[in-house]
C-alpha cells in the first residue's frame, strides 16, 4: 500500500486550498478506488472541505446491474462519511429533457451515435456534470475541485486522449469550463493495484463490496474485462459486457436485440432526410417513417423472445 499511501498524502496537500470537492463516479473499480483514497485523505486532513459531492451521471440508458451497483456504492460512501464526520453528498445527475437519448433519437430524428457523429457523451454525461459544477460556483463563488479516477493503463486510445488533455502532471480542465480544475491522482496505477486497494479498504472500513467484484467477474470470468456504458451504445459493434451479463440476467436480452436494431439503421443513408444548405445537399435527421418505427419497436422491445439456457 506504499504507493497508495503516497497518493493519499498527495491528495491531502492538493485539497487544502479547496472548500468544495467533487468526484466523478462511474460505479466502476477506478472511481471506487478514487473515492476511498479521498476518504482516507480527508480523514487525516486538518482543514476539511465544506462539501464533497460524489457525482454519478445516470444517462437513463444504463444497464440495470450497473445502475444498482453504483447506487450501492454511493450508499456505502455516504454512510462512511457520516461515521467519520466527512460531508459526503452523493448526487445522481440526469440529462435535461431536451438532451435525453430517446428525445434526440425519436423526437429530433438523430441517427444512433457513431464515431463520426458522437452526440451522446456530451449531452448524456458531460452536460449534467457541467451544469452541476456551474451551480456550485454560483452558490460558493468558485468551482469545486473535480477528482477523476482515469488512468493511463486503460488502452492506447484512452491513453492518447488523456495525454492530450493533461495540462500539468496530473491536472487538466473540465470540458467547456476553463476555470474548473480536474485532478487525476490515480493516473499511473495499474489495474491490479486498483483492485488491491479496494480489497485493502474493505478490510479497513469493515465493508463488503462483493457485488462490485461479482459484476466484473460475471462478464469475463476475471476482474479486468468490464466496460461501463449505456446499453444503447452503437459506438462499438459488439457490446461484450452486456452480452456476458445477460447470460446470468435474462431480462437483459431484449436490450441486446434492440441494440442490434439500432446498429442496423445507424449507417443506412436511405433512412435519412436530405437537407440543403449553402447550395449543397447534406444528410439530415431520420425520416418520419423511421422515427415511428423506432417508437413502435421501443414500446415492444420487452416482448422480444428470451434466449433459453442450455
Q: Is the pLDDT of residue 222 over 60?
A: no
- Paired residues of 239 in beta bridges: none
pLDDT in tens, 10-24: 999 999 889 999 999
Residues 6+ apart with CB under 8 A from 41: 8, 9, 11, 12, 15
Q: Residue 119: helix, strand or coil by DSSP?
A: coil
What is the pLDDT, as a whole number, of residue 307? Answer: 43
* Strand (E) or helix (H) holding 47: none
Superfamily of domain 2-101+120-192, CATH level 4 = HUPs (3.40.50.620)
The dihedral through the CA atoms of 3, 36, 179, 161 has a sign that is: positive
Q: Provide mean pLDDT across the span 53-58.
A: 97
What is the pLDDT, as a whole number, of residue 300? Answer: 67
What is the pTM (predicted TM-score) of this model?
0.88
With CA atoms as reference, report the closest residue to 170 among 191, 194, 149, 154.
Answer: 149
Cα–Cα distance between 248 and 251 in angstroms, integer? 9
* Strand (E) or helix (H) holding 16: none
Q: Pick the residue with more confidence: 75 or 224?
A: 75
Q: Is the pLDDT of residue 281 over 70?
A: yes
With CA atoms as reference, report the closest residue to 70 among 59, 56, 89.
Answer: 56
- Pairing relationship of beta strands 171-174 and 145-147 according to DSSP bridges: unpaired
Domain boundaries, the chain: 2-101+120-192
Residues 6+ apart with CB under 8 A from 152: 159, 162, 163, 187, 188
DSSP string over 192-232 = HHHHHHHHHHHHHHT---HHHHHHHHHHHSSSS------TT
Amino acid at each position: 500500500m506504499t504507493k497508495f499511501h503516497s497518493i493519499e498524502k498527495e491528495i491531502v496537500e492538493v485539497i487544502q486550498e479547496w472548500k468544495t470537492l467533487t468526484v466523478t463516479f462511474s460505479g466502476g473499480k477506478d472511481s471506487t478506488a478514487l473515492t476511498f483514497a479521498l476518504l482516507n485523505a480527508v480523514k487525516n486532513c486538518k482543514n476539511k472541505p465544506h462539501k464533497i459531492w460524489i457525482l454519478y451521471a445516470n444517462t437513463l440508458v444504463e444497464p440495470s446491474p450497473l445502475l444498482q451497483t453504483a447506487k450501492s456504492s454511493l450508499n456505502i460512501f455516504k454512510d462512511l462519511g457520516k461515521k467519520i464526520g466527512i460531508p459526503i453528498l452523493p448526487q445522481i445527475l440526469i440529462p435535461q429533457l431536451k438532451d435525453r437519448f430517446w428525445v434526440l433519437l425519436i423526437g429530433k430524428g438523430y441517427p444512433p451515435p457513431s464515431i463520426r457523429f458522437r452526440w451522446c457523451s456530451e449531452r448524456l454525461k458531460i452536460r449534467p456534470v457541467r451544469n452541476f459544477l456551474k451551480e456550485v460556483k454560483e452558490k460558493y463563488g468558485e468551482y469545486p475541485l473535480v477528482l477523476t479516477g482515469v488512468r493511463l493503463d486503460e488502452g492506447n486510445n484512452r491513453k492518447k486522449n488523456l495525454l492530450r488533455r493533461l495540462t500539468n502532471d496530473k491536472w487538466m480542465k473540465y470540458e467547456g469550463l476553463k476555470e474548473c480544475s480536474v485532478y487525476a491522482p490515480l493516473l499511473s496505477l495499474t489495474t491490479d493495484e486498483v483492485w488491491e486497494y479496494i480489497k485493502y479498504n474493505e478490510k479497513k472500513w469493515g465493508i463488503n463490496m462483493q457485488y462490485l467484484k461479482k459484476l466484473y467477474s460475471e462478464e469475463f470470468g476475471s476482474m479486468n474485462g468490464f466496460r461501463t456504458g449505456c446499453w444503447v451504445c452503437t459506438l462499438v459493434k459488439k457490446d461484450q459486457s452486456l452480452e456476458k451479463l445477460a447470460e446470468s440476467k435474462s431480462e437483459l436480452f431484449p436490450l441486446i436485440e434492440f441494440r442490434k436494431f439500432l446498429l442496423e439503421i445507424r449507417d443506412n443513408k436511405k433512412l435519412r432526410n436530405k437537407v440543403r444548405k449553402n447550395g449543397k445537399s447534406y444528410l439530415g435527421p431520420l425520416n418520419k417513417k423511421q422515427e415511428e418505427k423506432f417508437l413502435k419497436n421501443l414500446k415492444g422491445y420487452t416482448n422480444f423472445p428470451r434466449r433459453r439456457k442450455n
